[in-house]
Amino acid sequence: MGESIRSDLHLDEAVLGFAFSGYWLVASVAAFPMAVLTDRWGAMRALRAAGLGAFVLSIVFMGAARSGAGLVLALATVGLAPALATPAVNVVIMSGVRVQRRACAFAAASASPVAALMVAGATAPLLEESVGWRVAVGVGGLAAALLVVWLRGAQLHRARPAAAASGKVSLRPLMVMMAGVLAGNIALGGATSFAVVAAPTAELDIASVSFVVSACACGSILFRLMYAVMVDRRGSDPFPGAWMMMVAGGVGFVLMAWGLPGTFIVGLVLVLVPGWSWIPLLVYGVTSRYSDAVAPASGVVQGAYFVGGVVGPAVMGVLVTTVSYSLAWLVMGTASLIAALSVLVQGRRLPPFRTARVGV
């Protein structure tokens, strides 16, 4: 859909990149406050608010995105919805899911944006041609609202308040590790924003790459679920799997930088399948290590993830506009390897992995 928006509003890649960055900027700034709000409201109430908010904000997006500046502001407001939904989902999993199923639960939860990309890649071209990209955005917001209307569930065990938890557990080592993992989020932000737009540089058409992205999104869902089953069965620490997937993504970016049709497709598969599947493993590893401080720990992880979404598209937009896509992909590959090194080294300084039930 990014190409349709860019053509309709007559934008270049740099402006499009900064527009996507505005979305992630608001989400990153709101990450920790929304985590605290989730702890105060309760997970189910926060999820309902996030879904209904997504619908309202999609309507705002449809009306406000009339220029480059309007697109930036509209996408920025939409970023509030995931900032609230993400910590709520983490609290639900850590409070209400059995230890033997938590890795699968995190994998399933993290699959929602991937599934959205898969569905968008398959249906967006048809919707854009028939009703236009604005209506397509509204349809997505309506789907979110209808979903949360049907949410059911008893009150879950509440995580300990952030102030009490943070008094016992230091989040400083986590912040140091996430500073490195931020590089991996930058790489993912660049890839998901520009993979389709970059298709002509590898002598591929946009429609074909769009469907490849959808197929990779489906593959990522299956891959992370299958790996999560193995983690649950073994009861193993998910961090090693996370950093190895980051390395695979780094290799994929290098292949994409070659600019040949075959290497671009193979690289894209590595980036969007294993290279995009480490997120639930990282979240599970962190929340299990900080099981008495799920909300604040989620805020730290979520903030770093969203900041990567801010910087990634902006860096990609500037690099492809001023230099080339090849250099941009190499920069993203380097960022993925830095993230892997951060989890491998700094992850050892975090509290030990544990699988005790959360909720008091």
Instruction: Of 286, 304, 281, 248, give the one whose Cα is nearest residue 83.
Output: 304
pLDDT digits (tens, 9 = 90+) for 149-198: 666 554 444 444 444 444 566 788 998 898 888 899 899 888 988 998 89
Model confidence at 245: pLDDT above 90: yes
Place of tokens 């990014």: 2
In this prediction, residues 262-275 reach a mean pLDDT of 95
In this prediction, residues 273-294 reach a mean pLDDT of 91
Model confidence at 145: pLDDT above 80: no
Residue 354 lies in a domain: no
Between residues 103 and 144, the one the model is more confident about: 103
Which of 72-76, 83-87, 200-204 has the least mean pLDDT? Answer: 72-76
Residue 58: which residues within 8 A CB-CB, separation 6 or more? 78, 137, 138, 140, 141, 142, 144
Q: Is the pTM of this model over 0.75?
A: yes
pLDDT band at 325 (very low <50, low <70, confident <90, very high): very high
Residue 66 lies in a domain: yes
Model confidence at 267: pLDDT above 90: yes
Burial class, 330, CB count within 10 angstroms (exposed 0-12 / middle 13-18 / buried 19+): middle
- What pLDDT does 164 receive? 42
Residue 357 lies in a domain: no
- Distance CA(10)–CA(27), nearest Å, equals 26
H, E, C per residue of the chain: CHHHHHHHHCCCHHHHHHHHHHHHHHHHHHHHHHHHHHHHHCHHHHHHHHHHHHHHHHHHHHHHCCCHHHHHHHHHHHCHHHHHHHHHHHHHHHHHCCHHHHHHHHHHHHHHHHHHHHHHHHHHHHHHHHCCHHHHHHHHHHHHHHHHHCCCCCCCCCCCCHHHHHHHCCCHHHHHHHHHHHHHHHHHHHHHHHCCCCHHHHCCCHHHHHHHHHHHHHHHHHHHHHHHHHHHHHCCCCHHHHHHHHHHHHHHHHHHHCCCHHHHHHHHHHHHCHHHCCHHHHHHHHHHHCCCCHHHHHHHHHHHHHHHHHHHHHHHHHHHHHCCHHHHHHHHHHHHHHHHHHHHHHHHHCCCCCCCCCCC
pLDDT above 70: percentage of residues in the chain: 75
Residue 360 lies in a domain: no
Which of 29-33, 222-226, 319-323 has the least mean pLDDT? Answer: 29-33
Model confidence at 283: pLDDT above 60: yes
What is the domain extent for residue 115?
A: 2-349
Cβ contact 269:209 at 8 Å: no
- What pLDDT does 360 receive? 33
Say how far residue 43 (Cα) sits from the centre of its chain: 19
- What pLDDT does 165 receive? 43
Domain count of the fold of the chain: 1
Average pLDDT score over the chain? 81
- What pLDDT does 359 receive? 42
C-alpha distances (whole Å) from 102 to each of 188, 230, 273 are: 24, 12, 21
- What pLDDT does 161 receive? 46
- What pLDDT does 117 receive? 61
- Distance CA(181)–CA(304), nearest Å, equals 7
Model confidence at 257: pLDDT above 60: yes
- What pLDDT does 119 receive? 67
Residue 260 lies in a domain: yes
Model confidence at 297: pLDDT above 90: no
Residue 356 lies in a domain: no
Residue 189 lies in a domain: yes
Which of 109-118, 266-275, 284-293 has the least mean pLDDT? Answer: 109-118
CATH number of residue 100's parent domain: 1.20.1250.20
Residue 359 lies in a domain: no
Between residues 39 and 149, the one the model is more confident about: 39
